[in-house]
Amino acid sequence: MNRFTLPRDIYYGKDSLEVLKTLSGKKAIIVLGGGSMKRFGFVDKVLAYLKEAGIETQLFENVEPDPSVETVMAGAKAMREFEPDWIISMGGGSPIDAAKAMWVFYEYPDSKFEDLITPFSFPTLRTKAKFLAIPSTSGTATEVTAFSVITDYAKGIKYPLADFNITPDVAIVDPSLAETMPKTLTAHTGMDALTHAIEAYVSTLHTPFTDPLALKAIHMVFDYLPDSYNGDMNAREQMHYAQCLAGMAFSNALLGIVHSMAHKTGAAFSTGHIPHGCANAIYLPYVIKYNAKTAEARYADIARSIGITGTDAECVDALCKKIDEYNVKLNIPKTLKDFGINEEEFLQKVDTIAELAVGDACTGSNPRSITPAEMAELLKCCYYGTPVNF
């Protein structure tokens, strides 16, 4: 038996935030990040709409980027004291991911973080509250996914939590919020969305339910990302929808080794963090070449859906070239070396990173299996820009 799960309602379009006026409930806790939503006036709007709906509100602010277990527990405590019947989270991926985990500990105060690590093992939620998510960036699509990433800083581990129980009930995909994204974030989150859609399309768990969402998202990213990056707000709006479609696909089809590599290299080097979407954008063409040995026809499908013609092999080549061209347009480097990772440090760490990447939760649904030795080779190709021919 298969399962395909999405939010019950997705409101989208300019000023769709207004739907909050019609929400029915008693109390809503609003989980927020660092303050940009407040600065741009969106928090005031949300509070005014909820007041109109007769809903009492309380803010839980300052969820940090890469939210910690401690923040999750503090939020759950605030929820237990306030007893909301709606959890509303607005912002980038971090506050929404944190709020999803808070929800579990609000409803199940006695559960332990360790209990949630096994994928698809959560207790039944919605006994106390429903969940509404409002994204401000166009990439993670956490507003429609079954995922949340929480960091245990004491152990130095990032936990990708996964369960359809934490797929939100309602998503509001209002492009006005995405208009506030800076240029570089627009590029990185946009390429993250493209990677979600491509990995979902070639995933071993792809289905007839996820394929059309993935293909449409890919099409839209290629059509709109460069203009969105250059400040065209109509294109920015389309990207906000494209990333959401990609999210619906990958929440149900899962991902692949581009994400495994990005997860394990993101914080691995002393020269600084590699932003998630930037890492994905760098690795994607190399991984396509590696995976094409077993998934050539699927990548050729993707290429043909965006107007590329030729044999399967020619289509895969042209698709990789197109991704390279987009990376150039978006000022994303071609290699880890160009990104600025130190060669000596890279070579010293590559075997350990390769092992960790193979063990990442996203490796299981990759279309071609990979050994730690092959992963190390692949990472070296991404470092030096050498062709993948194994």
Residues lying near Fe ion in the complex (CB under 5 A) are found at 192
Closest-approach residue to Fe ion (CB): 192
User: In angstroms, rounded to a whole number, what is the distance separating the alpha carbons of residues 302 and 249?
Assistant: 14
User: In angstroms, rounded to a whole number, what is the distance separating the alpha carbons of residues 10 and 244?
Assistant: 10
* Minimum CB–partner distance for residue 192 and Fe ion (Å): 4
CA 66 centroid distance within chain: 12
* Minimum CB–partner distance for residue 187 and Fe ion (Å): 14
Residue 123 is classified by DSSP as P
User: In angstroms, rounded to a whole number, what is the distance separating the alpha carbons of residues 285 and 283?
Assistant: 6
CA 250 centroid distance within chain: 9
**Closest CB to Fe ion among residues 57, 137:** 137
Write the CA distances from 228 to 91, 110, 233, 305, integer angstroms.
19, 45, 6, 21
Tell me the HSE value of 294 on the side-chain side, using a 13 A CA sphere.
Answer: 12
**Closest CB to Fe ion among residues 263, 298:** 263
* Minimum CB–partner distance for residue 351 and Fe ion (Å): 24
User: In angstroms, rounded to a whole number, what is the distance separating the alpha carbons of residues 190 and 221?
Assistant: 7
Those residues whose C-beta lies under 8 Å from the C-beta of residue 321, and which sit 6 or more positions away, are none
User: In angstroms, rounded to a whole number, what is the distance separating the alpha carbons of residues 361 and 376?
Assistant: 18
**Closest CB to Fe ion among residues 143, 192:** 192
* Minimum CB–partner distance for residue 277 and Fe ion (Å): 7
Residue 10 is classified by DSSP as E
* Minimum CB–partner distance for residue 274 and Fe ion (Å): 13
* Minimum CB–partner distance for residue 190 and Fe ion (Å): 11
**Closest CB to Fe ion among residues 192, 360:** 192
* Minimum CB–partner distance for residue 196 and Fe ion (Å): 6
* Cβ count within 10 A of residue 313: 12
**Closest CB to Fe ion among residues 125, 246:** 246
> Residue 130 pairs with which residues in a beta bridge?
86
**Closest CB to Fe ion among residues 165, 243:** 243
Helix extents (H) in 203-256: 211-229, 233-253
**Closest CB to Fe ion among residues 107, 192:** 192
Question: Hunting for tokens 């996203």 — which residue is that?
Answer: 362
**Closest CB to Fe ion among residues 254, 295:** 254
* Minimum CB–partner distance for residue 142 and Fe ion (Å): 10
Mind spelling out the 3-state secondary structure of 268-279? CCCCCCCCHHHH
**Closest CB to Fe ion among residues 193, 354:** 193
User: In angstroms, rounded to a whole number, what is the distance separating the alpha carbons of residues 58 and 156?
Assistant: 31
Residues 141, 168 contacting (CB under 8 angstroms) = no
* Minimum CB–partner distance for residue 229 and Fe ion (Å): 18
Question: Hunting for tokens 């990376």 — which residue is that?
Answer: 327
* Minimum CB–partner distance for residue 122 and Fe ion (Å): 21
Residue 87 is classified by DSSP as E
**Closest CB to Fe ion among residues 50, 274:** 274
Length of the chain: 390
Joined together, the tokens standing for residue 315 give: 């289509």
